[in-house]
Structure 1
Amino acid sequence: MADVDTQVSTHTGYWTEERLMMREMARDFAKNEVLPVANRIDPERGDIPQSLIDKMGELGFFGILIPEEYGGLGLGYFEYCIVAEELSRAWMCAGSIIARGNTFYRSIPAKNDSEKREKIALMAQGKYLGAMAMSEPNAGSDVASITCRARRDDHEWVVTGNKYWCTFADRANFLNVVCRTDTDPDAPRWAGLTSVIFEKQPGTFPEGVFGAQIPKIGYFGWKTFELAFDQARAPVQPTLRSDGEAFKTIASGLEGARAHTAARSIGLAQGALEDATAYAKERVQFGQPISDFQAIRFKLATMATEIEAARQLMYHVCNEIDSGRRCDKEAAMVKYFAAEMAERTTSEALQILGGAGYTTLHAVERYWRDARLTKIFEGSSEIQQRIISDSILGKPTIR
């Protein structure tokens, strides 16, 4: 994330003075606060410090989507994604962790509306965050295949089964666990899924829940777990009223989640482009900066063009979401295009740095490792292609 201006002008119809100010604030914070921490901690595979989370909370980054009446900023996905992009230019986990507030406030565990309001206000400050437990060893994008079960025992859920890819499960204040509660064999596969909420102390797991850390090749800054539930008990939440409706809730948030992933992908690519541009100007070979060589210049030109194309598509998708219009096809497009672009662009940036890029002395290798994940999580590239092609052609007759 070098001091190189490689970003196209933002003077379009999308931009207001407030949005420009938010973008600059997020970028300054990412450069001055997030990047030094990332450069120090990521090579050690350490966790994002609580002090950094607290600073992000003070700036309102966890409450961008939370309504003002609950203590949030009451803004839209456009603002949410421009902040996520800027944070991800420094460290993707910083651009990701803000979702633990912005998209979790509707699943707050609470006995009544008053307690719910208090907890959402804390969430907007980054002081009460959630973690999602949806995927399983044999259920990823195929959410309808979830087998982890919850049975009702008076005022409690009793949960048995396994979950996979549960990031931030150790440090979260609560776990949102998607379980199967309907055993009707004639019901659709997606029916009968319920969100069961386990409240807990950060740094611990609830009684009957056991966590094993998953070794990852990137996305450091927080840990990812496999969770085992052995007759684990959680109270039925009277303020949620969503028994059997989890699939619909998940589906309703996919457009925003895919825009958010696109924003993170774009941030990684932008950071890599800036670092590669700065390096190309400084690295001298054969008596001249390598930025003079056409091969390098054309690489940078292609990288910048693809980043801006992804960014403008993301702006369009965010505008559609904020306007209340369906854009499932376009959201799949931007997630697919941005993720694929990010892997290409960060790989090209690493190539420009040459041997230096293949060391942990430069952030480019971090952008490259993290960009690879964007093609997998929040629905793989192949899932996005299926959604797009189904929208264009209709579903295959065999389905």
Structure 2
Amino acid sequence: MTALSADPSVENDGRGYMTSERRMIQQVAREFTRNEVLPVANRLDPEKGEIPMDLRRKMAEMGYFGILVPEQYGGLGLGYFEYCLIAEELARGWMSVASIIARGQGSFLPKKGNLTDAQADRLRRAAQGDYLAAAALSEPGTGSDLASISCRAVKDGDEWVITGSKYWCTFADGADFLVVFARTSPPPSAAKRHLGISAFVIDKERGTLPTNCAGSPIPKIGYFGWNTFELSFQGTRVPGSALLGEEGKAFYLMTSGLEGARAHTAARSIGLAQAALDDAIAYAGERRQFGMPITEFQSLRFRIAEMATRIEACRQLMYFVCNEIDQGRRCDRESSMVKYLSAEMAERVTSDALQILGGAGYTKLHAVERHWRDARLTKIFEGTSEIQLRIISDSILGRSETDRRMVDMAFGEA
């Protein structure tokens, strides 16, 4: 079980980020996680069960699928700071629950400007958790270099016909619609491989895949709570109205919002690490060896101090990045930094926590092994750690010729 203790550092935050309203939002999310998420995770993760609809309904009632949606469309009208505060707390219970909120928020729908009646209705449904997305971007042979996708969409009268394979499509079965990226025209040149890719919104019934689309779950070592699919589109037909944005320009849709997505991954990483630290502290306070509590051993005390310091350093950087996003200031380098640093930190801290529990940590009787497994994934999705280092180094040193061809192609399945 995870302790979900209060964090003294939050109460003593000196940067001015944590207003009384934000502390309340954080505390409510923490209590929701303790009371609603954690019991479900402890029961279902060991058996690879799915996030129950009952829990999703409770999350919708809390407004967690519409944190970023304007109030006039039924959302909370909050910013990325609040979004990541909530995500961090949810991840302390189950990372998959902290992830599924990203499938609301009006994913791939405009949140401002002049919306059509249909768009406005979809946005309201998204905020209520009734219109959740799954993204089909990666392919069996295409990871970070999404400009190389080979899935095709061909115009046939007023329809598009989609053919090809997709990989790492999490929530493909449970979502209300898929956003499928496919090539609709050849790239104009090798230097412009990112052009000619279009995106399509494919509405479908929950629990099913689109017509003429076959799929099977990928056997994962973690990130349970929902399924991740390999998909095969075998002539799936969609109306012309399914085209999302401008034809051939969907690569820019892929890369838009990366700063927020990376902050969200940092929040999930921090939540996993904090949960593991809480468990380690609770266990160490009860465990006795050589006639004394193991908290008396200096090596363990120093390890916990290091773990707490690494978590807090990442948390404060995340606060800064979220504040920059909400203020409309560009922070692509800093968002890559916080994603990289937090993911690397989470893997280390969860591993340290497992070590503190010893043999008990290597069992499913404690949640630490879940946090450890899930933390490992944060170094891969939303752009691998190596991709983040490319972005950071390029921003400092300028792009190498190799990086010039590669960095803008960096995006991962969330």
TM-score bracket for the superposition, by shorter chain length: over 0.9
In structure 2, the partner of 1:328 is 332
Where in structure 2 are the equivalents of 1:260-271 lying within 5 Å?
260-271=264-275
Displacement after TM superposition at 1:360 (Å) = 0.3
Check whether the contact 2:88–2:267 (CA below 8 A) recurs between aligned residues: yes
- Separation (CA, whole Å) in 2 of partners of 1:82 and 1:103: 19
In structure 2, the partner of 1:77 is 80
Check whether the contact 2:213–2:231 (CA below 8 A) recurs between aligned residues: yes
1:295 to 288, 299, 303: 299
| Gaps in structure 1 of 5+ consecutive residues | none
- Separation (CA, whole Å) in 1 of partners of 2:8 and 2:259: 25
1:281 to 279, 282, 285: 285
Check whether the contact 2:276–2:368 (CA below 8 A) recurs between aligned residues: yes
In structure 2, the partner of 1:173 is 176
Q: What value does the CA root-mean-square deviation take over the aligned residues?
A: 1.5
Q: 1:238 to 1:212 in 2, by over 3 A?
A: closer
User: In structure 2, the residue corresponding to 1:102 is in which secondary structure?
Assistant: coil
Displacement after TM superposition at 1:125 (Å) = 1.1
Displacement after TM superposition at 1:237 (Å) = 2.4
Q: 1:3 to 1:81 in 2, by over 3 A?
A: closer
Where in structure 2 are the equivalents of 1:137-216 lying within 5 Å?
137-186=140-189, 188-216=192-220
User: In structure 1, the residue corresponding to 2:252 is in which secondary structure?
Assistant: helix
Where in structure 2 are the equivalents of 1:1-399 lying within 5 Å?
1-2=2-3, 4-10=5-11, 11=13, 12-102=15-105, 104-106=107-109, 113-186=116-189, 188-237=192-241, 240-398=244-402, 399=404
- Separation (CA, whole Å) in 1 of partners of 2:256 and 2:202: 22
> Deviation digits for residues 183-217 of structure 1, max 9, x if unmatched?
14437111111111111000111111011110000
User: In structure 2, the residue corresponding to 1:31 is in which secondary structure?
Assistant: helix
Q: 1:341 to 1:103 in 2, by over 3 A?
A: farther
- Separation (CA, whole Å) in 2 of partners of 1:83 and 1:202: 26
Runs of 4+ in 1 over 3 A off after TM superposition: 3-7, 238-241
Task: Report the residue type matching 1:134 in the other structure.
Answer: L
Displacement after TM superposition at 1:6 (Å) = 4.3
- Separation (CA, whole Å) in 2 of partners of 1:3 and 1:200: 38
Q: 1:7 to 1:363 in 2, by over 3 A?
A: farther
User: In structure 2, the residue corresponding to 1:202 is in which secondary structure?
Assistant: coil
User: Relative to structure 2, which stretch is displaced further, 281-290 or 97-106?
Assistant: 97-106
Q: 1:107 to 1:226 in 2, by over 3 A?
A: farther
- Matched length: 396
- Separation (CA, whole Å) in 1 of partners of 2:373 and 2:8: 22
Displacement after TM superposition at 1:230 (Å) = 0.7
Displacement after TM superposition at 1:156 (Å) = 1.6
> Deviation digits for residues 226-265 of structure 1, max 9, x if unmatched?
0000111112227843322211112121111100000000
Check whether the contact 2:48–2:224 (CA below 8 A) recurs between aligned residues: yes
Task: Report the residue type matching 2:231 in the other structure.
Answer: L
Displacement after TM superposition at 1:377 (Å) = 0.6
Task: Report the residue type matching 1:307 in the other structure.
Answer: I
User: In structure 2, the residue corresponding to 1:62 is in which secondary structure?
Assistant: coil
Percent identical residues: 62
